[in-house]
Amino acid sequence: MRLDKTTKICAQTVIRILSLFFAAILLAAPSAARDLRPALHASSQYSYDAANEVDVELVLAVDISQSMDTEEQEVQRAGYVAALTSREFLDAIQVGPIGRVAVTYMEWGGVDEHFIIADWTVIQDASSASHFASKIAEAPLRQVQRTSIASALEKSVYLVQNNKYMGLRQVIDISGDGPNNQGGSVTEMRDRMVAAGVTINGLPLMMKANKNTWQAMLNLDHYYEDCVIGGPGSFAIPVRSKEGFADAIRMKLVMEIAGLTLPGHDPFVQKVAGREPIRCNLFD
C-alpha cells in the first residue's frame, strides 16, 4: 500500500461510510452483540448502563521500544493527535448506530511494560476528541528496551475485558517498528486474543526500511500480516515515511470505527497468497 495516495482513499472511505456501514451493522451487529461479548468474559463489577453502550471499544497500542528514537516518537504522537481530531474520524463516529466510541491509548515495550497515557474515554464529538488527544500530546515521552508484541496484545485484551463499556465491536490497533522478541510466541498469543472475540489491526512502522538492513530484510509489513493481525476484517497499513504517518493513522481509524475493510480488488492491497509466508517464530 502506497501512502502517497492515502488522502484520496480516506475521502473515498468516508463517502462510502453512509451506504456501507449501515448495511454492515444491520447484518453483523446482532451476532456481534450475541456472540462476541460473552466470549470476552467482561468484569462483573459493572452493571448494564445504556450510557456505556458504544459502537467500538478501541485500544490504541503504541510501540515505544528503544528502536523508536525521539523524533519518531514525536511524529507518532502528533500523527495520533491529528487523526483523532480529524473531520474524517469524527464523521465516521457520527454515522454509527450509537454515535460514540470508547478509546484508550497505551504505550508498550517489553513484557509487562505497559503505560496508559490516556485512559478509557468516550469520544462522540470534536470536544471529547480534543480532550482525549490533549492527554496524548501532553504526556512525557519514554523509551524502553524490548519489544513484546505478545505481552502488548494480552494487556490490550485485558483492557477491553475490564472496562465498563459495551461495544458492538472490540478492536486492538497495534503499531510497532520491529518483530516480537520477548514474551513467547506472538502467533499463539494472537490466536488466543482473537478467540476472545477481538479484531487485531496493525500499523507496521517501516520508516527506517531503507537505512536499517534487518528491517528491510524482514519485510515488517508481511510480518504483521502473517503473525500479528487477526479477527474479522483485520488489516495492516504500513507506514513508510514520516510525512505519511498522520494520513495512515487517519485512514486506519476511519476504517476501524466504520467497520470497513479495503476492497479485495483495490490496487494498493497485496495478497498474502502471492508471496512466501513469514517465519513468525524467528525472533520469539
In whole angstroms, give the CA distance from residue 224 to residue 174: 10
Does residue 282 lie in a domain region? no
3-class DSSP assignment, residue 274 = helix
Residue 270, domain member (yes or no): no
How many angstroms separate the CA atoms of 136 and 133, rounded? Answer: 5
Q: Residue 272: enclosing H or E segment and its boundaries?
A: none
Model pTM above 0.75: yes
How far apart CA 92 and CA 15 sit, in angstroms, is 10
Closest CA to 95 of 148, 176, 25: 25
User: Of the candidates 21, 39, 31, 13, which has an alpha carbon nearest to the alpha carbon of residue 168?
Assistant: 31
Specify if 199 maps to a domain. Answer: yes
Report the interhelical angle of 70-84 vs 126-138 (nearest 10°): 170
The tens place of each residue's pLDDT in the chain, 284 residues long, gives 333 444 344 444 443 543 443 333 333 333 333 233 333 444 456 677 888 999 999 999 999 988 888 888 998 999 999 999 999 999 999 999 999 999 999 999 999 999 999 999 999 999 999 999 999 999 999 988 889 999 999 999 999 999 999 999 999 999 999 999 999 999 999 999 999 999 999 999 988 766 665 655 578 999 999 999 999 999 999 998 888 899 999 999 999 998 766 555 444 444 555 688 888 987 77
Would residue 227 count as lying in a domain? Answer: yes
Model pLDDT, residue 11: 41
What's the gap between Cα 101 and its chain centre? 14
Residues contacting 284, CB < 8 A, separation 6+: 150, 180, 181, 184, 185, 186
Q: Are 83 and 89 in contact (CB under 8 A)?
A: yes
Query: What CA–CA distance (Å, rounded) separates 50 from 130?
Result: 24
Residue-level pLDDT at 224: 95
- 118 within 8 A of 149, measured Cβ to Cβ: no
- Residue 281 counted as domain residue: no
The pLDDT value recorded for residue 212 is 62
pLDDT at 226: 95
**Residue 181's domain is classified under what CATH number?**
3.40.50.410
The predicted structure's pLDDT at residue 66 = 83
Whether 71 maps to a domain, the answer reads yes
Total tally of structural domains belonging to the chain: 1
**278 lies in some domain:** no
58 three-class SS: strand
pLDDT of residue 24: 38
Print the domain residue range for 158: 3-40+51-261
Residue 279 pLDDT = 86
Sign of dihedral through CA atoms 99, 88, 64, 280?
positive
Beta-sheet pairing, 101-108 with 114-123? antiparallel
pLDDT value, residue 36: 34
Long-range Cβ pairs for the range 43-51 (8 Å, 24+): 43/161, 43/162, 43/163, 46/163, 46/164, 48/166, 49/164
Q: If DSSP states are collapsed to H, E and C, what string results for 173-223? A: EEEECCCCCCCCCHHHHHHHHHHCCCEEEEEEECCCCCCCHHHHHHCHHHH
Does 274 reside within a domain?
Answer: no
Write out the three cell numbers for 47.
452493571
pLDDT, residue 190, reads 97
Give me the long-range contacts of 206-213 (CB less than 8 A, separation at least 24).
206/177, 206/238, 206/239, 206/240, 207/72, 207/177, 207/239, 207/240, 207/241, 207/242, 207/245, 208/67, 208/177, 209/240
